[in-house]
Amino acid sequence: MPSVRSVSIGIWIGAGSRYEAPGESGVSHFIEHLLFKGSSRHDATAIARIFDTIGGEINALTAREYTMVHARFIDEHLEQAFEVMADMVVNPAFVEVDLEREVVLEEIAMYEDSPGDLVSDYLTQEIFGEHPLGKSVIGTADIIRAITPEHIKDYHHGHYRLPNMVISAAGNVEQERLTELSLEHLAGGNTEEPATVDAGLAPPREESGASFYRKDTQQYHVCFGGLGLSRHSDERYALSILDGILGSSASSRLFQEVREKRGLAYSVYSFDRMYSDTGLVGVYFGCRGDSVAEVTGIVREQVESLIETPVDEEELHRAKQSAKGRILLGLETTHSRMYRLGRLTVTGAEIIPIDEIIERVEAVTADDIQDLARRLYRPESLSAVAIGPDEKVFEKALGLMGSGRELSVRTA
């Protein structure tokens, strides 16, 4: 992107929560934190000052299938920024572990005080159970308290290996120069194949489940969902259109029916998440107790409508235009381009030219949408999870979704 002055770089590692062994849930995220405490050449203060001095930004994230350290800066600072990033990833000092442990424990506490986010994790656990994808990325307080520095170093040694890394970049940067810098600053990295934990395939879902987590909240936070599609599925573009029609846009059916027409919820949306070999789809809403049953009824009405009746041409056209707009707007920044290339590569997905993606979006038909809705959104097949003060409120709503789900009640 020679017309810009910025460069965005990501160093991606195939280390996320699905690759953690039993008893180490959250170690990938913990290591992400510790990378910023210092490396063999730079301590934590130096890392912060270097990026402040060059007017850049550096951050990181951990997901279920990868960890990424990413930065954005002006092109003239490429060499210095990449050297710092590479040393952080390959040669972390792993100092102040106990101090950062407390920071992570505070992050877990903050997350557990955010029921709108927490309920999504609970739904994932409900759908995947003991499968590695069911683990929380952030981990649990008990495990984080117990993880030792030796365990952290062993995990880093086993997963932060060069064959398990991807470098992605976008902006005013030449591939040849980035390759030279990678060879220079990553040459000392571990070249062995990464340690593996059997990621497994998603287990077939024999029946839907239902769980209620009792917590003294003002709202009930509710999720319905089930297994979805993998990143490799040819139907992923149709699923994006279905998601847009159902609940992921301002003109979507759920947003219009629940919020705009009835004022029953501030937040209501559908979502889809795709992983290497499977995925999940779902609906979230948060509302007061006296509206839970009504909103649940609307969710059922809308998914049944998509199952029983093909979408009309106007709605399909609008959803396609929205999807194409999101794709094209995502090419406007160096960070979004870097992120797209890196995430697809580290997860083994195909990098498809944008023009071809647009063609595939355009090729989606009303029959494709209806077929996906029938397979993924049958109300009686959806698992259900909620957080709130009284399980009886949720029990009533569950009855509206059909089937005889047995409700498991826990304390959040």
Q: Which residues are catalytic?
A: 32
Please tell me what DSSP assigns to residue 407: E
215 contacts 386 by C-beta, under 8 angstroms: no
What are residue 11's DSSP bridge partners? 69, 167
Which has the closest alpha carbon to 272: 308, 300, 235, 313?
235
Report residue 165 as tokens. Answer: 């890394």
Q: Pull the structure tokens for residue 380.
A: 């009686």
Pairing between strand 57-62 and 165-171? Answer: unpaired
* 30: region left, alpha or beta (phi > 0 left; psi from -120 to 50 alpha): alpha
Is residue 27 within 8 A of residue 73, CB to CB? The reply is: no
User: Pairing mode, if any, of strands 279-287 and 210-214?
Assistant: unpaired
Helix or strand (DSSP H, E) at 335 = helix 334-346
3-state DSSP assignment of residue 53: helix
Query: Residues near 218 by Cβ (< 8 Å), separated by ≥ 6?
Result: 288
**Backbone phi, psi, residue 89, to 5°:** -75, -45
Strand residue runs (E) in 63-137: 67-74
Please give the sequence-ordered ranges of beta strands (E in DSSP) within 288-393, or none if there are none: 383-388
Cross-strand bridge partners of residue 407: 210
Burial class of residue 284, CB neighbours in 10 A (0-12, 13-18, 19+) = buried
C-alpha span between 24 and 280 (Å, rounded): 24
The owner of tokens 């609970």 is: 122
Question: By the 8 A CB rule, do 246 and 302 touch?
Answer: yes
From residue 230, give the alpha-carbon distance in Å to each of 20, 161, 169: 20, 25, 25
* Type of residue numbered 211: S
Q: Please measure the distance between the N-terminal and C-terminal CA atoms of the chain and give it in whole angstroms.
A: 48
